[in-house]
Amino acid sequence: MTSHLGPSAGTRMRAVVRTSPAITAVEFADVSVPGFAADELLVRVQAIGVGVHDPLFLPAEVQYPYTIGIEAAGTVVAVGEQVTGLGPGDRIAFVSAMQASGGTWAQYTAVRGDALIASVPDDVDAATAAALPVAGSTAVRSFLSLPDPLESGSVLFIAGGSGAIGTLAIQLARRAGWTVAASASPGNHEYMSSLGAEMTVDYRDPDWQRRILDWSPHGVQAALAIQPGTTAESLPVVTDAGTIVTVSGDPLATERDITVRGLDQTARVDAVLQTLLDGAADGSLQVEIERDYPFDAALEAIDKVRQRHARGKVVITIE
């Protein structure tokens, strides 16, 4: 193993943990810095991407207290001898694989070398980097879940366009040459338009579906149902034989030969994540951070994302 000013295994660190399988609430605890295997690297966590399901993501075999979280950005401090292409001092953004040693809501975490990992450019801060791995990979995988690529000029509807996934999906769809409509609360409409959405609707407006069809009379070719419960609501605006990708995991009921698919989690998107980070560095990609919490306020960050009203991403920064 190669080390770089890293702590030894067993050194105590601060983490946010679940204490039992029966209790989903989380709390702060002092736990041991994880060891790392030959195919793993040890990372000093500098920023954490916050997800609503973070306290629920657990490996098959878990010991409590278990450090939660799957997404972060930080600096490599040590690598196992089987890890190639990365070394101490490298800045990375990553999605961990729900490892038995614990997740990302801690000062240090172990990450498998085959996890979703990308290098963080010098011009990208840790908070921005931590905001991209899950949201960016999910947006890309939602497009890869379409049965056939949409042609340039096709119309895409995004149900939940102002959140972390939606704000990236709008930009990526516009890059692909698609016309975008998106739903969110009215306070986010101007921002979605600035990202490239040509039509915005209020999801609380009982007539929003009619407004979409007035704007695109034949319906949209595809929809991304990002927010829970939006798959069924989106069906009326999708053209016959169109497609809905249910990002949130809604039931896959359908009608009018519309294809309703779950998210394809198998595709490797490492290169795409690197492209997103590079876009954040050169300004071609806007990464919206609703709020950056200090680590001491990590429990408040969980409460914030549970409201499902954030514009962009919620992150936590560890000093």
110 shares its domain with 188: no
Number of domains in the chain: 2
- Percent of the chain clearing pLDDT 90 (strictly above): 79
Mean per-residue pLDDT, 150-176: 95
pLDDT at residue 3 above 50? Answer: no
For residue 307, the tally of other CB atoms under 10 A from its CB is 9
Which residue range(s) make up the domain with 190? Answer: 135-262
Residues 61 and 107 in one domain: yes
The confidence score (pLDDT) of residue 9 equals 63
| Whether residue 171 is found in the same domain as residue 243 | yes
Q: Is 269 part of a structural domain of the chain?
A: no
Kindly report the CATH number assigned to the domain that includes residue 161: 3.40.50.720
Instruction: Please choose, from the candidates 247, 228, 244, the residue with its C-alpha nearest in 3D space to the C-alpha of residue 236.
Output: 244
Task: Let me know: does 45 contact 33? Beta carbons within 8 Å.
Answer: no
Is 214 inside a domain boundary?
yes
Q: Are residues 87 and 174 in the same domain?
A: no
pTM equals: 0.92
d(CA 306, CA 27): 16
| Residue carrying the six token digits 């089987």 | 82
The enclosing domain of 92 has a CATH number of 3.90.180.10
Span 188-198, mean pLDDT? 96
Q: Which two tokens stand for residue 85?
A: 């292409």
Q: In the chain, what is the greatest distance between 2 CA atoms, to the nearest angstrom?
A: 63
Nearest 5°: CA angle at 142, between 191 and 100? Answer: 105
| pLDDT tens track for 85-144 | 999 999 999 999 788 899 999 999 999 999 999 999 999 999 999 999 999 999 999 999
